[in-house]
C-alpha cells in the first residue's frame, strides 16, 4: 500500500512538469506512476507544444512557412517573409 502512495506522489511530479509544457496531466501522471525513472527525464527534456508556446510564450506562426516566431518580429527568421503587424 505504501508503494502505491509513493508512486502516486512521484507521478504528480511528472504530471506537473508535462502540464507546464502543454501536455496532458493525467496521462503523464499515469506514466510517472508506472515508470517514474524514465518519465521524469522524459518530461524534463521534452519541448513545449506549439499551441502552448503560442498561448503562453508570445509566439505566432509565420503565414508562409508556419514556423513559430516571436510576436514582435517584423521579418520571419526562417523564410524572410515581411510580417504584417510586427514592430
- For the chain, give every domain's residue range: 1-47, 48-87
Q: What is the 3-state secondary structure (H, E, C) of the chain?
A: CHHHHHHHHHHHHHHHHHHHCCCCHHHHHHHHHHCHHHHHHHHHHCCCCHHHHHHHCCEEECCCCCCEEECCCCECCCCCCECCCCC
Q: 87 or 46: whose pLDDT is higher?
A: 46
pLDDT tens figures, 62-73? 888 888 888 888
Predicted structure pTM score: 0.61
**Could you tell me the pLDDT band of residue 87, with boundaries at 50, 70 and 90?**
very low
Asked if residue 56 has pLDDT above 70, the reply is no
pLDDT tens figures, 1-52? 898 899 889 999 999 999 988 899 999 999 999 999 999 999 999 988 777 7
Amino acid at each position: 500500500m505504501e508503494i502505491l502512495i509513493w508512486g502516486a506522489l512521484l507521478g504528480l511530479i511528472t504530471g506537473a512538469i508535462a502540464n507546464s509544457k502543454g501536455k496532458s496531466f493525467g496521462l503523464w501522471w499515469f506514466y510517472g506512476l508506472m515508470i517514474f525513472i524514465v518519465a521524469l527525464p522524459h518530461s524534463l527534456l521534452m519541448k513545449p507544444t506549439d499551441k502552448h508556446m503560442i498561448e503562453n510564450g508570445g509566439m505566432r506562426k509565420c503565414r508562409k512557412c508556419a514556423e513559430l516566431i516571436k510576436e514582435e518580429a517584423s521579418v520571419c527568421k526562417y523564410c524572410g517573409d515581411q510580417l504584417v503587424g510586427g514592430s
